[in-house]
Amino acid sequence: MVEPVALGALGLDAALGWPARVHARIGHPVGGFARIIAFCERRWNSRHFSNYVRRAGGIATVLLLLAAAVGCSYAAEKLIRWSLGQWAWTGMAFAAWPALAQRSLYQHVLAVARELDAGRLSEARRAVGWIVGRDTASLDEAGVARAAVESLAESFCDGVTAPLFWLLLGGLPGIWAYKAVNTADSLIGHREEPYGPFGWAAARLDDVMNLVPARLAALLICLAAQGGWRVMWRDHGRHASPNAGWPEAAMAGALDVRLGGPLRYDGVLNDKPWIGEGGRHIRAADVRRAMRIFLRACALLWVLAALWELSP
C-alpha cells in the first residue's frame, strides 16, 4: 500500500506550522532534546576536566540523544502501525510533522520583510534577531536583509530538506535522529568555549548528516531560481561550514547579491569572506525575492517526495 507519510507531514506543516497554542501547552519535541543536552553538559563539560574527557562526554551525549530519539520514534512507529493498520501513514505523518519547518521559517522571514518594507529598521533588527545568532543592534538595512536571506537559505536545508531526506530514508527514527543531532549542533557544536571538545561529536555528526541534504538544497534553490549555478560552484567553499555554504552560495547566485562578509558575534568582529563576490549589495526587496525562491524550492521538494512515495 502507498504510504504518503512525507507528503502528509509536509502538508500539515505548510497548513499549520507548529501552532502557538500547541507550543504553549506542550512545547516542542526538540525541547526534550535540549533538556537532555543541558543535563549532560552540566555533568560532563567542566573546565576542570581534560579535553579528552570532555570530548568523551560529548560523544556520550550524542549517543544518549540518538538512543532516546531513535528508541522513542521506533516505538511510536510500531504503536501507530499496530493501532491504525492501513491508516498508519496518517499517524506517522502527524508524528513527523513537528520536525519540519517550512511555515515557521517563512513566517519568521516574512516578519523581517514587512518591517523592512515599512522602513522600521529597529523592528526589523528585532525580528531578524529571532532567527540569527549574530549581533543585530547595529545592522543597517542591508545587514538585516543579508541576515534574513542567509538564515532562509541555510534553514531551507536544516529545517526542511534534511529532515525530509531522513524521513524518506529512515522513517520516524530517521527524521528524529536528525533533529536530535541538529539540535545538539545548534546548542553545543561550537569550537569556542565553553563547548570546544564537548561539542566536537555533535558538530561532526551534523556535518555528516547534512552532507547530501545541503547539496540537494542548493540544487533545488538553483532550479527554483533558474540560475545561481556558477556562484554556487565557485563560492560554496567560502563558508566555514562544509555544508551551509552550498545553499547560501546558491541563493547569493540566484539573487545576484553578496552574502556573508564581516559579522559581529558577542561584540567580536569576525572577518568572514564574501559569498557571491562581484554581485551587488543586497537590498530589502531581495528578501521578498528570496522568499519566492524558497516557496518554489519547497514545491520541488514536494514533487520529489511524491515521486519517492507514490511511484510503484
The number of residues making up the chain comes to: 312
Give the number of other CB atoms < 10 A from CB of residue 99. Answer: 27
The domain limits of the chain are: 5-310
- The pLDDT, as a whole number, for residue 186 is 92
- The pLDDT, as a whole number, for residue 192 is 76
Four-CA torsion 233, 278, 276, 228, nearest 10 degrees: -60
Bridge partners (DSSP) of residue 264 are 269
Q: Residue 259: in which H helix or E strand, if any? A: strand 259-260
Record the cell numbers describing residue 107, joined without a space: 513566517
**What are the average pLDDT values for consecutive 10-residue runs of the chain, which has 312 residues?**
88 91 83 94 89 94 96 96 93 96 96 95 94 87 94 96 97 97 92 86 96 98 95 93 95 94 77 80 91 98 94 73
3-state helix, strand, coil in the chain (%, to 5): 75, 5, 20
Q: Strand, coil or helix: what is 112?
A: helix
